[in-house]
Structure 1
Amino acid sequence: MTDSDPIAALVELFADAPVAVLTGAGLSTDSGIPDYRGKGTVPRTPMSIRDFMDDSGYRQRFWAGARVGSAHISGIKPNAGHAALARLEAAGRIDGVMTQNVDGLHRRAGSRTVVELHGNGSVIRCTDCGNRWTRNEVLGWFDTLNPGVVERSSEAEIAPDGDARVGDVSDVIVPPCPVCGGILRPDVVYFGETVPPGVFAAAESLLNGAGALLLAGTSLAVNTGVRLMHRAERRGIPVAVINRGPTAADARAAVRIEGGTSEILTALVTELG
């Protein structure tokens, strides 16, 4: 649908019930995190959990990239789009946020109910014993084992997941689990894995109480978002899209706005009062 006043069309979706919101990488680009599929983005192969678990060199590259990229990530803050969604929740216009992002920015912006469909990159767990630590704790262990890695890779390019693309990692020592010596991994859903049933059920709960579904900053290239869109369609509620570039929902959208999430969500908050 093309509307002469797209913000007004969005406002109408909030008339009868809270709106369910699903966010993707495009919401965080204004915070300085590169998009995976936006204009000018270099195509890349998503990280496979099988590669991570089976290839020690892959883990060396991952942890070196995580450590070098952490200096960049530490300065990243929620943007106006995150803040707008937190305000909508506080006003009762949405009941929470479903997100495909693992950057934790929704909670930092003040959102209270956040369904992190793909996990949270700031949490690290052992694949053997299940113990968990913060990402910063594990990166501290990495520094002890690998002095000088950050300095040698200070010019490395930052990837869309916030990690750096480092060069030679043949001498990198990967920190093991301090409890059992097992393999440590981020507590996120990688390619080849599925969203935990309980997490998806929490997303469905938000969707089941909603009068519409708003997709913000996602192309719906990942199956998780597509499944939620199909559930919205089965419920007969309208779908709205805010995104830079095409999405898998464009042909189905009751409202489609081409543009950045920060400015459009901010304008929506203003119009809703």
Structure 2
Amino acid sequence: MNTEECPTSRLAEFLQLHPKLVVLSGAGISVASGIPAYRDGLGQWQHRKPIQHNDFVNHAATRRRYWARSMAGWPTINDAQPNAAHRALTALEADGRLEFLITQNVDRLHQRAGSRSVLDLHGRLDRVRCLSCEDLTERRTMQQRLLSHNSAQVLSSGDMRPDGDSELPDTELDDFDVPPCIQCGGNLMPDVVFFGANIPRARVESSMTALDRADALLVIGSSLQVYSGFRFCKHAQATGKAIAIINPGATRADSMATLKLDEAAETLLPNIAAGVTPA
């Protein structure tokens, strides 16, 4: 592939050679929607240590800290809208070029853009799950309950993360009241996979099956520092699948890639979607 061609031409050529894609998207694709990424262009973590699954399950103070910060950060996630990159992937799916979309994001922006064959690898932030009875409720309902239980709380606006977690001083958390499950009184957590927890096996297996059917893997907006996403690059390489990466910064799989483009997806993908002839 001619490395002197413009990025749009190089990606268009890749799609012509590999017409059935599996896409893996990360936090970078949602930055243009106003949701910040976890890492910088060098793949370095930009925030405080994230909440760990076992800490959330076992410690009330951790749950209180999470829900207080989430109450402050949720409006940014809830109000975010799909950007041009999300919409371009929807168009590629409609054209029959996108076989399956695996997203590491929990913001549901791919679905809001109209994509159908989407797997939320790390879960979805718009739902809340009871740790005792497994009852599922909408995150918007939880927000109303959080605000009602903490009407006197005036939380400062802190540094946002892609999971809706907003950095807050610990001094603002002591009196925060977390409402319990309406059904059984159990502890509630967002329906996401926290750091330190395992991705459900069925999600990994269905993603691998889709990748086996595809011609290539296209990674968008992920540094691939977390193994949950990097495993798909390893599988693609092991099974002889080509890998293309669109990410304005280094990734863990750069050495595996057939094509690496240091471009913003929201500027590159719309041109591709508009110029691709349906399969």
1:156-167 to 2 correspondences below 5 Å = 156-167=158-169
* Corresponding position: 1:107 with 2:111: yes
Percent of pairs with identical residues: 37
Give the equivalent residue in structure 1 for 2:4. 4
**Structure 1 consecutive aligned stretches of length 4 or more whose deviation exceeds 4 Å:** none
Give the equivalent residue in structure 1 for 2:199. 195
Secondary structure (helix, strand or coil) at the match of 1:58 reads: helix
Could you tell me how far apart the structure 1 residues matched to 2:2 and 2:37 are?
26
1:184-263 to 2 correspondences below 5 Å = 184-263=188-267
Could you tell me how far apart the structure 1 residues matched to 2:190 and 2:83 are?
24
Greater Cα offset, 37-46 or 113-122: 37-46
- Kindly provide the CA deviation profile for residues 103-122 of structure 1, in whole angstroms up to 9, marking residues without a partner as x: 00000000011011101011
Calculate the TM-score normalised by the size of structure 2. 0.92
Could you tell me how far apart the structure 2 residues matched to 1:116 and 1:206 are?
14
**Quick check: 1:2–1:256 contact (8 Å CA) kept in 2?**
no
Could you tell me how far apart the structure 2 residues matched to 1:240 and 1:156 are?
35
Q: Structure 1 residues 228, 241: closer, same or farther in 2, change over 3 A?
A: same
Of 168, 172, 179, which residue of structure 2 is paired with 1:175? 179
* Corresponding position: 1:142 with 2:146: yes
| Unpaired stretches in structure 2, ≥5 consecutive residues | none
What is the Cα deviation at residue 202 of structure 1? 1.6
Secondary structure (helix, strand or coil) at the match of 1:251 reads: helix
Greater Cα offset, 79-88 or 174-183: 174-183
**Quick check: 1:27–1:81 contact (8 Å CA) kept in 2?**
yes
Could you tell me how far apart the structure 2 residues matched to 1:219 and 1:105 are?
19
RMSD over aligned Cα, in angstroms? 1.7
- Kindly provide the CA deviation profile for residues 184-210 of structure 1, in whole angstroms up to 9, marking residues without a partner as x: 001111111111111111211221111
Q: Structure 1 residues 29, 41: closer, same or farther in 2, change over 3 A?
A: farther
Secondary structure (helix, strand or coil) at the match of 1:85 reads: helix
Of 131, 134, 137, which residue of structure 2 is paired with 1:133? 137
Of 32, 35, 38, which residue of structure 2 is paired with 1:36? 38
Q: Structure 1 residues 155, 185: closer, same or farther in 2, change over 3 A?
A: closer
What is the Cα deviation at residue 155 of structure 1? 3.4
Could you tell me how far apart the structure 2 residues matched to 1:260 and 1:2 are?
20
Calculate the TM-score normalised by the size of structure 1. 0.94
Of 116, 123, 127, which residue of structure 2 is paired with 1:123? 127
Q: Structure 1 residues 43, 111: closer, same or farther in 2, change over 3 A?
A: same
Could you tell me how far apart the structure 2 residues matched to 1:238 and 1:130 are?
40
Q: For this pair of structures, how many residues does the alignment match?
A: 271
What is the Cα deviation at residue 2 of structure 1? 6.9
| Unpaired stretches in structure 1, ≥5 consecutive residues | none
Partner letter of residue 11 of structure 1? Answer: A
Secondary structure (helix, strand or coil) at the match of 1:14 reads: helix
